[in-house]
A and B are shown apart, each in its own frame.
Chain A
Amino acid sequence: MKIGRKRKGKAEIPTSSMSDIAFLLIVFFMATTKFDVKEGIRIVLPQAADEGAEQTQTLTLTENEMTRLQITEDGRIAVNNDAPRNFESGELDALIQQKVRINQQMIFKVITDREAAYNDMIRVVDRLKAAKIEKISLSTN
């Protein structure tokens, strides 16, 4: 019987497809990665009034310094002492621009009725933010 000499095979793990696998995984993670952010309207609230403070300063602001936007229960808006009425977004933008032309540093005070919908307040604040207004005050009556 003829016994052949065994050839020693070189043991190797094939690595040529390694980069294919890696790129496949990258594509998966790129497709599924959602950078963890929230989206919304950011506001910085004022400090709470200190009840123990001996002196509180009262400022009287004119209509040229502050515009009051009073949102009624049914979503209508009263500007300063005017009667409340419905405002379309475009009308609100025009109003804000008009007020800013009077005073670049105009303060907008948004007074929302407790019974008004939250959405109505957001709609007004959104238009103010869109007009790059920084001085926004939120209050209720």
Chain B
Amino acid sequence: MANFKKQRSREVAIPNGSMSDIAFLLLLFFMVSTVFVQEKKFWVERDRWPIAESIERIPRNHTTTIYVMRDETILIDDIPTRIESAEDVFVSSTLIRKKADDPELVVCFRTDRDTKYGVMSDVMRQLQSAETLVVAFETQQRQN
């Protein structure tokens, strides 16, 4: 005759002892990846940027920002300059230095949408002479 043993009912439990470890791991990730962006001054307000639809996301770690204001003042590293003639090479000399530090440099323009194109053309010519050829025109996303 078969011997029927009484089955023991096991307690079912999800182990949650390592829950806090997981939580702290996630916490550490978010603490490390969080960057509180602090700019000295926002020279061209976001609502003055042009509006575009086909925009790309550009990681900030290889970028430098050039502000071009409506009065044709150009700012690199918060230093104002102007391009009056071909002898004004502050932009190109600054970018040559930056390009030497970071060969993957992307120059981002934060330009007032009503700025005359002439000054942008002058800056881009200096970019070409500094061989910093990848540029991005920062824009607002068009809201549909």
Residues of chain A touching chain B, judged by Cβ–Cβ distance below 8 Å, are 15, 18-19, 22-23, 25-26, 29-30, 32-48, 71, 112-123, 125-126, 129-130, 138-140
A33 to B118, CA, bound (A): 38
Contact among A15, A44, A118, A125 with B115 in the assembled complex (CB-CB below 8 Å): A118
Chain A binding surface SS class: mixed
User: Contact size class for B?
Assistant: 35 or more
Q: A23-B23, A48-B129, A138-B124 are in contact. Are A38 and B136 (CB under 8 A)?
A: yes
**For residue B129, which residues in chain A have a CB less than 8 angstroms away from its CB?**
48
Q: Is the CB of A41 within 8 A of B52?
A: yes
Q: Is the CB of A42 within 8 A of B50?
A: no
How far apart are A107's CB and chain B's nearest CB, in angstroms?
Answer: 17
Chain B binding surface SS class: mixed
Mask, B94-133, CB within 8 Å of A = 1, is 0000000000001011011111111011001101110101
Residues of chain B touching chain A, judged by Cβ–Cβ distance below 8 Å, are 16, 19-20, 23-24, 26-27, 30-31, 33-35, 37, 50, 52-61, 63, 68, 106, 108-109, 111-118, 120-121, 124-125, 127-129, 131, 133-139, 141
How far apart are B60's CB and chain A's nearest CB, in angstroms?
Answer: 4
Q: Is the CB of B117 within 8 A of A19?
A: no
**Could you give 27 example pairs across A and B, Cβ below 8 Å?**
A22-B20, A22-B26, A25-B27, A33-B33, A36-B35, A37-B57, A37-B59, A37-B60, A38-B58, A38-B108, A39-B55, A40-B137, A41-B137, A42-B56, A114-B118, A114-B121, A115-B116, A118-B111, A118-B115, A121-B117, A122-B137, A126-B52, A126-B53, A126-B54, A129-B54, A130-B54, A140-B121
